[in-house]
Amino acid sequence: MASFLGTQINPKSFHRSQFKFYALLVPLSIFMILPVIYVVSQAFKPLSELFLFPPRFFVENPTLENFARLFRTASGTGVPMTRYLFNSIIITTLTIFLTILITLMTGYALSKKRFKAKKALFSINQTALMFVATAVAIPRYIVVTGLGLSNNFFAHIIPYLAMPVGLFLVKQFIDQVPDELIEAAKIDGANDWHILTKIVGPLVKPALATVAILSFQFIWNSTESSAIYIIDETKKTFAFYMATLTSSTAGPAGVGISAAAGLVMFLPNLIIFVVMQSNVMDTMSHSGIK
C-alpha cells in the first residue's frame, strides 16, 4: 500500500516519497503567488506608503481610501459605471459562449471529418499561433469596418471569436476520442449535432474549460475595441472605462486610484481561473480520455 501511495497520481494521504516534490513545488508556488499578493497589497496602501522609498512589498496601514477615491471619481462621469460593467458582462458572456461553440465545431470537423484542404486549413491555424494580437490589428480593423460594425456592439465580439490556440488544443483533445465511439453513435441514429454535444463535448471539457479561461482573460481586459471602433460612450467596456479613469486622474491620487482599479479588474480573472482550474483538473481525471 505504501508503494502504491508513492506512485498514485493524486494520493489522498501524505507519503514520505512525496517530500521531494513539495520541496520544489512549495517554494515555486510561493514565488508565483507574490504578484497576486502585491496587487492586493498595493490597492490598500495609503498614499504615504505608495510613494515610500525604498518601497515596501506589504501594506502596513491598510486603508479603503483608494477605493473611495475611485468610486467618487467614477460617480462624477456622465455615464454610470454600472453601464460599462453591464456592457463587459454581456460582451464577455457572449464571446466565451460563441468561442467555445465555434472552437468545438471546428475542432470536430478538423479531427473527425474528411474533406479537401483539411490539412492546409489546420496548418493555417498553426501558422496563426505565431502572430500576436498587435500584428493583426490593421487587418482586424479593415475587416470590422468592412462589415459595417463601427460603433456597433458586435465590434467587441466578432474580432475575438477566432482563437487559434483554443482550436489547436480542442482539436488535439478530440483526436483522442475513439472513432469507434462516434461510429457506434451514428449506427444508433445520432446526427453530428448530437454526437458533438452529447459525446464529444463532455469528453473534451478540459480543453473547453481552458478555452473559456483564455477567452475570458483576453476579452475582459481588452480595451482595443472601445478605443478604435466605438464612439458611443454607452457601448464601451468596463476595462476601457477603468483605463481612461485612471489615466485622466493626475497627481498622487491617481496612483492610488490606479492601484484600486487594477485590483478591481484583476479579481474576476483570479476568481474564474481558480473556479475553472478546479473544474479542469476534476474533468481531466474523470473524462475517460486515456
Expressed as residue numbers, the domain containing 99 is 80-286
Task: Give CA–CA dist 281/287, Å, rounded.
Answer: 10
Say if residues 30 and 7 touch (Cβ distance below 8 Å): no
Percent of the chain at pLDDT > 90 equals 6
Task: Establish if 195 belongs to a structural domain.
Answer: yes
In this structure, of 29-38, 101-110, 170-179, 271-280, the range with the lowest mean pLDDT score is 271-280
Q: Which residues of 252-264 are buried (b: 16+ CB within 10 A; e: fewer)?
A: ebbbbbbbbbbbb
Establish whether the linkage from the previous residue to 54 is cis, with ω within 30° of 0.
Answer: yes
Mean pLDDT of 210-235: 86
pLDDT of residue 289: 44
On the question of pLDDT at 6 being above 50, the answer is no
The SS3 of residue 139 is helix
Residue 277's pLDDT is what? 72
Q: How many domains does the chain have?
A: 1
Altogether, the residues listed in the chain come to a count of 290
Asked whether residue 41 is assigned to any structural domain, the reply reads: no
Give domain status of residue 268, yes or no: yes
Residue 269 included in any domain:
yes
Q: How confident is the model at residue 96 (pLDDT cuts 50, 70, 90)?
A: very high
3-state secondary structure of 42: helix
Residues 40, 263: contact at Cβ < 8 Å? yes
* pLDDT score at 207: 85
Q: Examine residue 51 and state whether it is found in any structural domain, yes or no.
A: no
Position 26 in a domain: no
Q: Please state the rounded mean pLDDT for residues 219-232.
A: 86
Question: CA geometry: angle at 162 spanning 157 and 165, to 5°?
Answer: 130
Residue 168 lies in a domain: yes
Task: Look at residue 37 and tell me if it is in a domain.
Answer: no
- Most confident listed range (43-52, 74-83, 149-158): 149-158
User: What span, in angstroms and rounded, lies between the C-alpha atoms of 43 and 58?
Assistant: 11
Ramachandran angles phi, psi of 132, nearest 5°? -80, 165
C-alpha radius of gyration, the chain, whole number: 23
20-24, 177-181, 220-224, 284-288: range with lowest mean pLDDT = 284-288
Q: What are the residue ranges of helices labelled H in the chain? A: 2-7, 19-43, 47-50, 65-75, 81-112, 118-128, 137-146, 164-175, 179-187, 192-194, 201-203, 205-220, 224-228, 238-247, 252-286
Domain CATH number, residue 110: 1.10.3720.10
Residue 191 amino acid letter: N
The share of the chain scoring above pLDDT 70, in percent, equals 87
CA 41 vs CA 35, 61, 189: distances in Å: 10, 10, 58
DSSP state of 116: T
